[in-house]
Structure 1
Amino acid sequence: MKRHEARQKALQALFQLDNTELLLEEAMNHALERSFEEAAQPAYDAFFEQLVRGTTEHKETIDEQLSAKLENWSLSRLPKIERTVLRMAVYELQFSNDAPDGVVVNEAIELAKTFGDEKSSKFVNGVLSKFIETK
């Protein structure tokens, strides 16, 4: 699985996990469209799994960092897709060294364009640029 596709699938799994009772593995299997038999074999793409598990495990810290960067917004008021894209991107920026910051930001912008509305990508870019500035 290519990294862009892994990010798309991870975004879908994380989106499902936000405010639902799904288990992590259920969300990952659903995002990957795995059958019941395939789901019994817990072999996931490593990058996809890292994104989903890492973002979930560090969610509290990520949310604190995001809240500190948001101007005139609260995390709970953000549209769900933007919140999910931002969480995943902040996970990559703060806790993973797998990709350069510019790549992470560009991928987040592309995800926001694909899954959000016309303003999503600009908003995501603005928030993530604050994380880049403070590095």
Structure 2
Amino acid sequence: MSSRSKARKRALDILFQADVRGDQPAVILAAEARRAAGEPARQASWLYAREIVDGVIDNQDAIDEQITTFAKDWSLARMPAVDRAVLRIATWELLYNDEVPAAVAIDEAVELAKEYSTDDSGAFVHGVLARIARAS
């Protein structure tokens, strides 16, 4: 697994945890930063995970607007928490990170959704992100 794939998983953990606990992502991010300081072998994945989470925090209103616009009759509240987190990560990559090709962002998100969410989540995430990518 590449360091960016690991970073996406770490970002998913942080965003999911914040969502489920009702905490601010920055609070969970700070706790993870303290833990990461003692794990030099995971430094590469930590740096990108932090960039993702910071990017989602900084742009959450715009990201959520894109997801809501292209989710076709699905509100954010109605989505599984894992799907919300995966969509936020990939939408940030699509809209704010020019280093990640759209196809990679979408494929990585679909794999996370398939692994950690419902049986239908992979197709749902793919559909939403494909519409966002076409519109951007």
Under a length normalisation based on structure 2, what TM-score does the superposition of the two structures give? Answer: 0.83
Matched, 1:78 2:79: yes
Q: 1:80 to 1:23 in 2, by over 3 A?
A: closer
Superposed CA offset, 1:48-68 (max 9, x none): 110011111111111111111
Quote the RMSD (CA, aligned, Å). 2.5
Q: Report the count of equivalent residues.
A: 130
CA distance in 1, matches of 2:53, 2:70: 22
- Kindly provide the amino acid, as one letter, of the partner of residue 20 in structure 1: G
Asked if 1 retains the 8 angstrom alpha-carbon contact of 2:29 and 2:53, the reply is no
2:131 match: 130
- Kindly provide the amino acid, as one letter, of the partner of residue 49 in structure 2: F
Contiguous gaps of at least 5 residues in structure 1: none
CA distance in 2, matches of 1:129, 1:59: 19
1:108 match: 109
CA distance in 2, matches of 1:91, 1:113: 19
Map of 1:27-106 to 2, 5 A cutoff? Answer: 27=29, 29-30=31-32, 34=35, 38=38, 45-106=46-107
CA distance in 1, matches of 2:104, 2:67: 19
More helix by share: 2
Asked if 1 retains the 8 angstrom alpha-carbon contact of 2:25 and 2:53, the reply is no
Residue 117 of structure 1 aligns to a residue in which SS?
coil
Contiguous gaps of at least 5 residues in structure 2: none
Q: 1:81 to 1:115 in 2, by over 3 A?
A: same
CA distance in 2, matches of 1:58, 1:85: 15
1:120 match: 121
Residue 74 of structure 2 aligns to a residue in which SS?
coil
Shift >3 Å, 4+ stretches: 25-30
Shift of 1:26: 3.3
Q: 1:23 to 1:79 in 2, by over 3 A?
A: closer
